[in-house]
Amino acid sequence: MIISIIIFIITLLVLVLIHELGHFLLAKKFNIKVLEFGFGIPPRAWGKKIGETIYSVNWLPLGGFVRLLGEDEVDKETLEDKRSFSAQSVSKRILVVVAGVSMTLIFAWLLFYIVLGFGGFKTQIPLILEHQFTGVVQKEESFVVIAQVAKDSPAEGAGIKSGERVVSINEEMIEDDRQLVEKTKSLAGAEIELKLADLQNKQTHTIRVTPRLNPPEGEGPLGIALMQFELANLEFQTPLQKIFSAPIHSWNLVAYSSKIFSKLISQSLAQKDVEPLSKSVAGPVGITSLANTILTSTDSPFLPYLDFVAILSLNLAVINLLPIPALDGGRLIFLMIEAVTRKRVHAKVEKWIHTVGMALLLTLAILITFSDIKKILY
């Protein structure tokens, strides 16, 4: 576990450095003064000034930052300094802001090229949007995944966990969620043998459980919520398909994640319960645990871990583009408003909004961390 933690910390450091290096290099190109290049969120644990820039390591390992002159300051003298971020044209400022996301995305593509190349340019992709992917579909398969386990239900008592794939009931193969529901209803009151597996269908185990005859309203005999998955074995065959395989694979994954996330939000709103959503979100602790599982569950973890890092880098790029204050996407919104209206939002207003956004993000990160710890302990 300790080795896995060290590897993941190095991985996180690399991802942060790559992202912030995009901002840093473009700021230097435009002669914008870089005040600080930091890993983590302050308070500062260590820092050293080299030239005009402080290179720092901070106590909260939740990303990093490049602090530019005139980016968050509000005094007129700083804002009008010729080396200030605010003194640059709006097009230059937009380029500096999107440079971090661009570097993170390119890094994800490079890793995907390696993973796909070693795999013969073959992969699996969920069938979520018709004709979403570009390639040759070799085979399609459908399976059922347990999305949620209700408290005090037969499923919870038997040790069934969310995220497991349902393989069979009493040795009858399960291919869709409707079949599973009908089968458990017909066998209510009698003990059944439920075969489960991980999503890769490599590790299976069998559980004996008795479906309830009279389940509470809103719950089924087992007390589980289901999600139907359909996968396609996809192959990039032509030279053109292989050249664009990494961007296409990235787009497919983002589309898949967006659809699943929207379903979880709808489910949480319908049930007035954030549990379905919270179980799908992981912070540093949860991601570290996942990294440890990948590194220790196989004798050859190199490619699976590269794939994991590529997905993580892709997610960081997407999250940073969200129009949330303090993130790159939030700053981009203000710049786009300025580009359209040709009038800059007042510096004090923008700084206040980003400060509130950062506080909310840190609060959310703390809550997710506690949720991660709870998942591990219980």
Distance of CA 130 to the CA centre of its chain: 23
CATH of the structural domain 136-235, one choice from 3.40.50.300, 3.40.50.1950, 3.40.50.720, 2.30.42.10:
2.30.42.10
Return d(Cα 62, Cα 59) in angstroms, integer. Answer: 9
At 327 the pLDDT is: 93
At 208 the pLDDT is: 93
At 280 the pLDDT is: 60
The domain locations on the chain are: 2-119+289-377, 136-235
At 36 the pLDDT is: 97
At 324 the pLDDT is: 93
DSSP string, 168-209: EETTEE--SHHHHHHHHHHTTTS-EEEEEE-TTS-SEEEEEE
Q: Do 125 and 159 contact (CB within 8 A), yes or no? A: no
Averaged pLDDT in 10-residue chunks for the chain of 378 residues: 84 93 96 94 93 93 88 84 94 97 97 95 69 54 81 88 86 87 90 83 81 86 83 83 92 80 69 60 69 76 92 94 93 95 91 91 80 63
At 131 the pLDDT is: 44
